[in-house]
Amino acid sequence: MTKKNSYFSELSDLRKNESLFFALSEFSPAGIYLTNKDGDCLYSNRQWQKMAGLSAEEAIGEGWKKALHPDDIKEIFSKWNKVVETQGEWNFEYRFVNQETEEITWVLGLAKPLYDEKGILKGYIGLNIDITKDKLKNEEIRNQLHEELEYAHSQLERLQGILPICASCKKIRDSNSNWKEIDQYIVENTNADLSHGICPDCLQKLYPGYYNKKRE
């Protein structure tokens, strides 16, 4: 018996006892797969095949790894082998590249070992959940925060150092050697909006009558 025929034989044994599972899995919005105890793929549902751009036959054995993004293959395949060796559980995020459309799908992969009534490992059942929208949203947020950080940094750099200010009229000399009123300089070089009032010292100097009246 060839290795591929062996996979089909193992899958046939599973189908005899799990016909309801196979029926329901074909309607699932998540990618579902079954493997043997060695971690070789025996079954994948329609949604999994749609994500991967692979047929059920193409995915069996180690064929499923053809769906992995080239940058993820080495890491994910190594982690999967470790899970199989330790009979552990699978919980990782990685990318699929559809073999027909080349569309990239971010998936959350989950898998647990399957045991028979005697506690003997029979294989693994797994899910692939499409998380592409969440990944793109998080990437957009990160890019926005990066842009805001860069802007804040540029503003800080503009305000660092010594500002030449006239000792008499208090104008500030900018980087182009132009002398500007201090309020003009602040508006052009910061995010501050200015409002005008009058301080107590100036109020006393310019309007002594009003100042004294306020203090009575």
Residues 166 and 124 in one domain: no
Residues 67 and 166 in one domain: no
Q: Which of 190, 187, 192, 194 is nearest to 152 (CA)?
A: 190
- Bridge partners of 105? 96
pLDDT recorded at residue 164:
78
Residues 34 and 126 in one domain: yes
For residues 146 and 95, give the distance between their C-alpha atoms in angstroms, rounded to a whole number: 24
Q: Is residue 203 in a domain? A: no
Q: Is residue 177 in a domain? A: yes
Residues 79 and 178 in one domain: no
Each residue's pLDDT tens digit, 58-110: 999 999 999 999 999 999 989 999 999 999 999 999 999 999 999 999 999 99
Q: Is residue 102 in a domain? A: yes
Residues 14 and 108 in one domain: yes
Q: How far apart are the first and last CA of the chain?
A: 108
How many CB atoms sit inside 10 A of residue 121's CB? Answer: 14
Residues 55 and 119 in one domain: yes
Residues 179 and 95 in one domain: no
Please tell me the least confidently modeled range out of 7-21, 38-52, 92-106. 7-21
Residues 90 and 165 in one domain: no
Residues 107 and 175 in one domain: no
Residues 168-187 have a mean pLDDT of 79
- What domain count does the chain have? 2
Q: Which of 52, 54, 32, 30 is nearest to 43 (CA)?
A: 32
| Contact between residue 23 and residue 45 where contact means Cβ atoms under 8 Å apart | no
For residues 48 and 42, give the distance between their C-alpha atoms in angstroms, rounded to a whole number: 13
Prediction pTM value: 0.59
| Contact between residue 39 and residue 80 where contact means Cβ atoms under 8 Å apart | yes
Enclosing domain of residue 175: 161-192
Q: Is residue 211 in a domain? A: no
Q: Is residue 148 in a domain? A: no
